[in-house]
Structure 1
């Protein structure tokens, strides 16, 4: 198996990057090829997964080990192939996806293309409890902060703040104070959160 490729980013395409390794060009399919834009014509390190079937061989690439690990786990779920796994990775933070699985958030999971209710339940059944251990220390704090917000009111408030354009970092910063609020009313929590965000 090809675990990673270190070489020059020769070109970037809509769904792939071409890596030049001592004169050999490797086409690597990526969820977000343009994350390597700043490394064009420079040396880069790309984590890879060598997907082999009877009729095809494809190299899939990832910027870090967490993305690669999640991709491999998703391939183990019935109903999700490489394209579906890449579609998920292209539109979500790894920590946020893991948190959604841990809190069994069907609504979040079905927001991805090709993921219906049946597949979402299969993802939860197959992966719950198996993803947090694979995360690096860099990703774990984000994930654990979201998982701790088990109250429905708090979870809904988080989603509303994201919809309003606030970043995960901004939301995490005020979570300790929101958890101390003696209410599960989503509207009240949002009002309190907005007040805290304005002050910060």
Structure 2
């Protein structure tokens, strides 16, 4: 198993990263929290979880070991796969997610696309005694960009949302809050879609 990859960040979008290490480019599926941690950096170290299926070998990347641990805990819940776990971590920052689980707040989990009442309750029941209120700390940081709307729409499309709905929501968010960084635009859009 791969523990982490350290190298040059060749490509970075809110849902995907390509990191080059020893001449090999690794494509990693990432959350918005991880995107925020690496945004603007030329290189770094990303913690990895590998998913091997019949039809694909996928790498999921995380800025911290704590975020990876939350991802693994989420995927241990019946009905929560890697993409759903990534969607949860993109919608709710790791620090907040730990508090949501510890406080048994199913409404916040239900606000994530693809999470219904039963899945939210299952996550809370299964993980209540497994999460720790300390140790998970990632703060999002945004940088100004001329293409925030396009980048946000592209990220939403990669997460499975329809183009027309994504464009409408992103346009509304950017009109109301033009100074928001792309990760905040995407988080707001995830709550509205």
| Alignment check: 8 A CA contact 2:14 2:31 kept | no
In structure 2, how many angstroms separate the alpha carbons of the residues matched to 1:55 and 1:138?
34
In structure 2, how many angstroms separate the alpha carbons of the residues matched to 1:24 and 1:86?
24
In structure 1, how many angstroms separate the alpha carbons of the residues matched to 2:47 and 2:84?
19
In structure 2, how many angstroms separate the alpha carbons of the residues matched to 1:98 and 1:70?
8
Q: Greater CA deviation, 97-106 or 3-12?
A: 97-106
Aligned partner of 2:59 in structure 1 is 59
Aligned partner of 1:21 in structure 2 is 21
Aligned partner of 1:136 in structure 2 is 135
Question: How far did residue 54 of structure 1 move?
Answer: 2.3
Aligned partner of 2:10 in structure 1 is 10
Question: Rg larger in 1 or in 2?
Answer: 1
Aligned partner of 1:164 in structure 2 is none
Q: Structure 1 residues 25 and 66 mapped into 2: Cα distance closer, same or farther (>3 Å)?
A: same
Root mean square deviation of aligned Cα: 1.8
- TM-score, normalised relative to structure 2: 0.65
In structure 1, how many angstroms separate the alpha carbons of the residues matched to 2:113 and 2:136?
29
Aligned partner of 1:43 in structure 2 is 43
In structure 1, how many angstroms separate the alpha carbons of the residues matched to 2:136 and 2:16?
28
Q: Structure 1 residues 94 and 138 mapped into 2: Cα distance closer, same or farther (>3 Å)?
A: closer
Q: Structure 1 residues 34 and 112 mapped into 2: Cα distance closer, same or farther (>3 Å)?
A: same
Question: How far did residue 37 of structure 1 move?
Answer: 2.3
Aligned partner of 1:76 in structure 2 is 76
Question: How far did residue 137 of structure 1 move?
Answer: 6.8
Question: How far did residue 14 of structure 1 move?
Answer: 4.7
In structure 2, how many angstroms separate the alpha carbons of the residues matched to 1:95 and 1:129?
16
In structure 2, how many angstroms separate the alpha carbons of the residues matched to 1:126 and 1:99?
15
The one of the two structures with greater contact order (alpha-carbon pairs below 8 A, sep at least 6) is 2
1:5 is paired with a residue of what secondary structure?
Answer: strand
Question: What is the number of equivalent residue pairs in this alignment?
Answer: 136
Unaligned stretches of 5+ in structure 1? 140-200
Unaligned stretches of 5+ in structure 2? 139-193
Q: Structure 1 residues 62 and 111 mapped into 2: Cα distance closer, same or farther (>3 Å)?
A: same
In structure 1, how many angstroms separate the alpha carbons of the residues matched to 2:70 and 2:60?
13
- TM-score, normalised relative to structure 1: 0.63
